[in-house]
Amino acid sequence: MVNVLIVGATGYIGQALTQSLVASGDHRVYGLARTPEKAKVLESQEVIPIVGSITENAGLLKAIDSFHINIVVDVAGANQETFELLSALKKVGAARLEAAAGVQIPKLGFIYCSGTWVHGSSYVPVDDLTPAGMPNSPTPPTQLTSWRPKLEREIIAASNVLDTMVIRPALVYGRSNAIWSIFFSPLQEAAKSGASIVKVTADIDSRPGIVHVDDAASGFPAAIDKLPLISGAGVYPVFDLVTSQESMSDILGVAAKELGCKGNVKMVGAGEDLFAKAMCVSFNGNSGRAKTILGWEPKRFGFVKGMDVFAKAWAAAK
């Protein structure tokens, strides 16, 4: 049984991931919780809580050794604080190898959840072998996550003391649809007020790549199981997860209808809102390598066609 620690266990992808691992019965699942209240939530979901944070990580690092954690999975979306986590894990990994005194032992594993926003708006086809954030990249990463390509490279370079992998989900939807509030909230407010026109800070030409949160989460158990086999085997350990590319106009048009908005939806552009800009990044990519190498098998296809369910799920989760 693999001992897995999830950083970001109470988050959007984290909750789906922990439940997937618990249900499999093949993993002993630990979750990092910032507060005792969140620790209780994890316990109720059969996840063993570790109270701490990425930045104040003394307790986290102690727990990694105390509970003999095999693999750490970071789905926290903690921006540049993850550089600090990586630095700390490298020290733990190096100490484990040093303590083995030359005897071959499994390395501590680290799987990082990045995202396809590192590709920027890709109107030409790209995949996980396409350089991201490099001078020869087809497009620059979106400004909100412009720091991530450097972090990805540092994670891959840590393979001398860690088994490492980077998983990049596309724009996630489903369940609470939390990140879609920036667009759905104005639609719901317009439905309540009866406004004849509703302005949404989205780009009319946007065609984001998307993936259901359950499918995004299912990529990580596949990564966990394959990590020891892939590490050191010469396989580039970066995998994009995407199931479709859909028009933002279609997404918001159908969402407006399902939320009861009868007014005209006017997409006015993302402007200088960095998060809105990131949400509107177009992604012309694929997940062939994730399916072939990791054995990833997504089950949910299409945001627009299931919007009658997804819009109501978002409204109920508010």
Q: Name the average pLDDT for the chain.
A: 94
Q: Where in the chain are the domains? A: 2-171+210-242+289-294, 178-207+244-283+299-317
Return the exposure string of 35-49: e unless at least 16 CB atoms fall within 10 Å of the residue's CB, then b: eeebbebbeebebbb
* Residue 159, pLDDT above cutoff 90: yes
Residue 269, SS3 per DSSP: coil
Q: Which long-range contacts (CB under 8 A, 24 or more apart) does 310-316 make?
A: 310/173, 310/174, 310/177, 310/255, 311/177, 311/184, 311/255, 311/258, 311/259, 312/258, 313/174, 313/175, 313/176, 313/177, 314/176, 314/177, 314/178, 314/180, 314/181, 314/184, 315/184, 315/188, 315/259
Cα–Cα dist 193/191, whole Å? 6
pLDDT value of residue 127: 96
- 12-to-73, 175, 194, 280 alpha-carbon distances in Å: 14, 9, 31, 19
pLDDT attached to residue 147 = 95
What size, in residues, is the chain?
318
Instruction: Find the distance separating the first CA and the last CA of the chain, reported in whole Å.
Output: 37
Mean per-residue pLDDT, 118-146:
94
**Which segments of the chain does DSSP mark as H helices, in order?**
12-24, 36-44, 58-66, 81-99, 148-157, 181-193, 213-230, 248-258, 274-279, 288-289, 307-317
pLDDT for 98 equals 94
Tally the C-alpha atoms within 13 A of residue 236's C-alpha that lie toward its C-beta. 12
Determine whether 197 is exposed, middle or buried from the number of CB atoms within 10 Å of its CB (0-12, 13-18, 19+): exposed
Q: What is the pLDDT of residue 53?
A: 84
> What's the pLDDT score for residue 291?
97
pLDDT at residue 80 is higher than 80: no
**More confident call, 61 vs 119:** 119
CA–CA separation, 304 vs 37, rounded Å? 36
CB 168 within 8 A of CB 116: yes
User: Which tops the pLDDT comparison, 56 or 152?
Assistant: 152
Model pLDDT, residue 77: 87
DSSP track, 157-222:
HGGGTEEEEEEEE-EEESTT-GGGHHHHHHHHHHHHHT-SEEEES--TT---EEEEHHHHHHHHHH
Q: What is the pLDDT of residue 56?
A: 75
The first and second tokens of residue 263, run together, are 């007014």
What dotted CATH number matches 178-207+244-283+299-317? 3.90.25.10
Domains 2-171+210-242+289-294 and 178-207+244-283+299-317 share a fold: no
Question: What percent of the chain clears pLDDT 90, i.e. is strictly above it?
Answer: 87
- State how far the Cα of 131 lies from the Cα of 261, in Å rounded to an integer: 41
Q: State both tokens at 128.
A: 């996980």
Q: What is the pLDDT of residue 59?
A: 79
CATH class of 2-171+210-242+289-294: alpha beta
Task: Report whether pLDDT(101) > 90.
Answer: no
User: How large is the angle between the packed helices 307-317 and 181-193, nearest 10 degrees?
Assistant: 90
